[in-house]
Structure 1
Amino acid sequence: MDNSPVISLVIVDFFKAERVVDNVRMALKQKGDFSLQVVVIDNSCDPRNKRILEKLPKSDNVHVLYNNNNCGYVAACNEGVSLFSSDYVFLVNPDIAWKADTTITAILNKFASDERIGVIGTRQINDDGSTPDTVRRFPDLIAQVARRTFLRTLPLV
């Protein structure tokens, strides 16, 4: 019996089909002791986007669902998660580029390093090398002003 963990990658697409195809192809090249299943939920409701997604690799572990209406990101994530039973679920942005073929293994190793870890968020890097704001604290007036003015560039103490 194989004891390697099963990973479910859930990717919600909204008009980023070309990036999704690249994302899935790179994800399938990940190396490590795990089984990978991929589900793409297409919220675009667009025939052109669908034609591009039809270029995804034909495989037992790659599934695409084409929604008839945009049910929203969270509902689509829930739809994808409910399709499989797995040890780990990765909610993956559609335009992710897997920089190394050991990224999933590194994430699994991080999980294994501390039983208190329940969620991991990886660092997002834009195509131009910059890092976007991917998390925020609860909005307040000071934070809103700081984010929209020169105060944004000041070093944090």
Structure 2
Amino acid sequence: MDVSIIIVSWNVKDHLTRCLRSIFKHTDNLNYEVFVVDNNSIDGSAAMVKSLFPAINLIINKKNIGFAAACNQAIKESKGNNILLLNPDTEITDNAIYKTSLYLRKNIKIGIVGCRILNEDGTIQPSVRRFPDLISHICILLKLHNFFPEIKSVKKYYMTDFKYNSNTRVEQVMGAFFMIKRELLKSIGLLDKHFYIWYEEVDFCKRAVNKGWQVYYYQDANVIHHKGKSFEQVKPVLKQSIFNRSMLYYFFKHHSIFEYLVLLILFPTSLILALIVQLLGIKSANSQ
């Protein structure tokens, strides 16, 4: 088995349908299997998969256990040499999965690859970042980047000057299209299930790099991403709270106790600011 494609879905039936159709339409020369893990959707997603795609491996959860834990369920059952974590609001184009899998197979030092992510209008969607640092994340928690988009530390973290026209070694790639070499799992283990949503792929990249593996952006494969369709259903303050918890857990794992405590102190303030940003109708150029 070349690739195991794993999709975690929550109440995005229409996007999931398009995603699955795009996989079967635009994937050739590849021996692959598809897993859909439904996190207790109430929109008929699981029934749709059973009806339209009966050959797919469907895992139905009785509650929303989060992204990382759901991915791990399918990873444990998968057989592919490479594993693709794919968001349900993506659409595959031009044999992107085969191309990325071939690139990963040919480069023995690479453990994780992300491809070029496109918006619906064909423009490039930023999909690489550096690892988190304290200053940029203070700014992000306090929503300063919403009002002052030219803050240097935030721009550095988001890699706003990154050139998306060449295959490049990076620190982390977006989880919307996240291909993993199975040997990496043997080296560092599964995703950390304590991340409910957000930062699980950052943590995974960090652990991989710490073990000497490389993370790459691959520009020769394109995927369309209808960004954030699952979590746009969640109210902003609750979304901010979940984001904060994941950020804090990441800093607890990978940074000093001082940095963790600084961000912890800012937690309540960030919730108030999230509400203000919502009321003012301000939209950040970057997610969170």
**TM-score category of the 2 structures, normalised to the smaller one:** 0.7 to 0.9
- 1:122 aligns with 115
Kept after mapping to 2: 8 A contact 1:8/1:39: yes
The TM-score with structure 2 as length reference comes to 0.46
Counterpart for residue 96 of structure 1: 90
Q: Greater strand share, 1 or 2?
A: 2
Deviation at 1:140, TM superposition (A): 2.5
Give the alignment of 1:21-100 within 5 angstroms: 21-29=17-25, 30-32=27-29, 34-59=30-55, 62-100=56-94
**Separation of aligned partners in 1, 2:161 and 2:78:** 42
Q: Distance in 2 between matches of 1:47 and 1:26?
A: 21
Change (3 A) 1:118 1:156: closer
Comparing both chains, which one has the higher relative contact order based on Cα–Cα distances under 8 Å and sequence gaps of 6 or more? Answer: 1
Distance 1:74 1:45, change over 3 A: same
- Indicate the SS of the match to 2:63: coil
Work out the CA distance in 2 between the residues paired with 1:94 and 1:78: 16
Deviation string 1:89-130 (CA, Å, 9 cap, x unpaired) is 111111111121x21221122123321111101222222335
Q: 1:156 to 1:125 in 2, by over 3 A?
A: closer
Aligned residue type for 2:120: D
Distance 1:130 1:57, change over 3 A: same
Q: Distance in 2 between matches of 1:22 and 1:152?
A: 38
Q: Give the alignment's Cα RMSD to 1 decimal.
A: 2.7
Counterpart amino acid of 2:35? Answer: V
Aligned equivalent of 1:13, options 6, 9, 16: 9
Indicate yes or no: 2:102 matched with 1:109. Answer: yes
Alpha-carbon distance change, 141 to 91 in structure 1, aligned in 2, over 3 angstroms:
same
Amino acid at match of 1:151: E
Taking only the aligned residue pairs, the percentage that are identical comes to 20
> 8 Å contact 2:116–2:124 — kept in the other structure?
no
AA aligned opposite 1:38: V
Q: Structure 1 residues 120, 50: closer, same or farther in 2, change over 3 A?
A: same
- 1:30-76 superposed Cα distances (whole Å, 9 cap, x missing partner): 111x21110100114315333444443222xx121221000110000
Judged with a 3 Å threshold, the aligned counterparts in structure 2 of structure 1 residues 152 and 95 are, in CA distance, closer, same or farther, namely: farther
Q: Is the 8 A contact 2:8 2:70 kept in 1?
A: yes
Shift of 1:133: 5.2
1:90 is paired with a residue whose SS is strand
Structure 2, unmatched stretches of 5+, are 163-288
Contact 2:46 2:58 in 1 (8 A): no
